[in-house]
Amino acid sequence: MKILVCITHVPDTTSKIQFTANNTKFDTAGVQFIIGPYDDYALARAVELRDQTGGTLTAINVGEVETEPTLRKSLAIGADDAIRVNSFPKDSFFVAKQIAHYAKEGGYDLILMGRESIDFNGGMVHGMVGELLGMPSFSPVMKLEVEGTTVKMAREIEGGKEMLEAKLPLIAGCQEPIAEWKIPNMRGIMSARTKPLKVVEPVTDETQAAASSYQLPPAKGSVKLIDKDNVAELVKLLKNEAKVL
Amino acid sequence: MSILVYIEHAEGKVKKTSLEAVSFANKLAAQTGEGDVIAVALGTVDSAELASVGKAGAAKVLHADDSRLTDGVIQAHASAVAQAFTAIGTKTLVLAKSSLGDAVAARLAIKLNAGLVSNVVELPNTSNGYVVKRSIYTGKAFAETTITTDNKILAVKKNAVDLKTDGGDAIVEKLSVNLSDSDFASKIITTERATGEILLPEADIVVSGGRGLKGPENWGMIEDLAKTLGAATGCSKPVSDIGWRPHHEHVGQTGVKVAPTLYVAVGISGAIQHLAGVNSSKCIVVINKDPEAPFFKAADYGIVGDAFEVIPKLTEALKAEL
Ligand SMILES: Cc1cc2nc3c(=O)[nH]c(=O)nc-3n(C[C@H](O)[C@H](O)[C@H](O)COP(=O)(O)OP(=O)(O)OC[C@H]3O[C@@H](n4cnc5c(N)ncnc54)[C@H](O)[C@@H]3O)c2cc1C
Domains present along chain B, CATH in parentheses? 3-184 (3.40.50.620), 200-321 (3.40.50.1220)
List Cα–Cα distances, A225 to B113, B202, B281, B296, in angstroms.
52, 28, 18, 9
CA separation for the pair B251, B210 (Å, rounded): 10
Q: Is A14 inside any structural domain?
A: yes
Res. B135 pLDDT band, cuts 50 70 90: very high
Q: Is A167 within the bounds of a domain? A: yes
Please tell me which of the candidates A131, A159, A170 has its beta carbon nearest to residue B107.
A131
Confidence (pLDDT) at B197: 76
Separation of alpha carbons B163 and B274, rounded Å: 27
Is A51 among the domain residues? yes
* Cβ neighbours around B261 below 10 Å, total: 16
B255 lines ligand 1 (CB under 6 A): yes
What number is the average pLDDT over the span B206-210? 98
Asked whether the predicted pLDDT for residue B23 surpasses 90, the reply is yes
Kindly state the helix (H) or strand (E) to which residue A9 belongs, with its residue range: strand A9-11
- Reported as a single tens digit per residue, the pLDDT across B234-293 is 999 999 999 999 989 999 999 999 999 999 999 999 999 999 999 999 999 999 999 999
Pocket flag, ligand 1, residue B68 (CB < 6 Å): no
Strands of B157-290, DSSP E: 171-174, 187-193, 205-209, 232-235, 262-266, 283-288
In a domain? residue A224: no
Question: B253: closest CA among B134, B158, B138?
Answer: B138
Write down the pTM of the prediction.
Answer: 0.93
pLDDT category at B81 given cuts 50, 70, 90 is very high
Q: Is B185 helix (H, G, I), strand (E, B) or coil?
A: coil
Cα angle B233-B74-B95, degrees, rounded to a multiple of 5: 65
Domain assignment present for residue A238? The answer is no
A92 found inside a domain: yes
How many structural domains compose chain A? 1
B36 pLDDT band, cuts 50/70/90, is very high
CB contact under 8 A, A209 and B132: yes
State the pLDDT confidence band at B187, using cuts at 50, 70 and 90: very high
DSSP codes, A102-130: HHHHHT-SEEEEESS-TTT----HHHHHH
- Smallest CA-to-CA distance from B131 within A143, A171, A213, A235 is with A213
Whether chain A has a CB inside 8 Å of the CB on B131: the answer is yes
List, as ranges, residues 9-38 from B with C-beta within 8 Å of A. Answer: 10, 15
Residue type, B284: I
Helix axes A92-106, A125-133, angle to 10 degrees: 50
Pairing outcome for strands B13-14 and B9-10: antiparallel
Amino acid A111: pLDDT:
98
What residue numbers bound the domain in which A163 lies? 2-219
Q: What is the mean pLDDT of chain B?
A: 96
* Closest to A137 measured CA to CA, from A173, A101, A87, A84: A173
* Conformational region of residue A166, where left means phi above 0, alpha means psi within -120 to 50, and beta covers everything else: beta
pLDDT, residue B322, reads 81
- Nearest residue to A88 via CA among A2, A171, A9, A190: A9
Give CA–CA dist B143/B131, Å, rounded: 10
Sheet holding B301-304, edge to edge: A224-225, B301-304, B283-288, B262-266, B205-209, B232-235
Q: Of the candidates A207, A213, A223, which has its C-beta nearest B302's C-beta?
A: A223
The predicted pLDDT at position B34 comes to 87
Nearest one of B174, A241, B123, B288 to B132, comparing CA atoms: B123
Interface of B with A in 142-161 (CB under 8 A): 142-149
- Would residue A230 count as lying in a domain? no
Profile chain A (245 residues) by mean pLDDT over runs of 10 residues.
98 94 95 97 98 96 98 98 97 98 97 96 97 97 97 94 97 96 95 97 96 92 95 96 94
* Interface contact flag, A176 B247, Cβ < 8 Å: yes
Q: Is the pLDDT of residue B198 over 90?
A: no
Is residue A116 included in any domain, yes or no?
A: yes
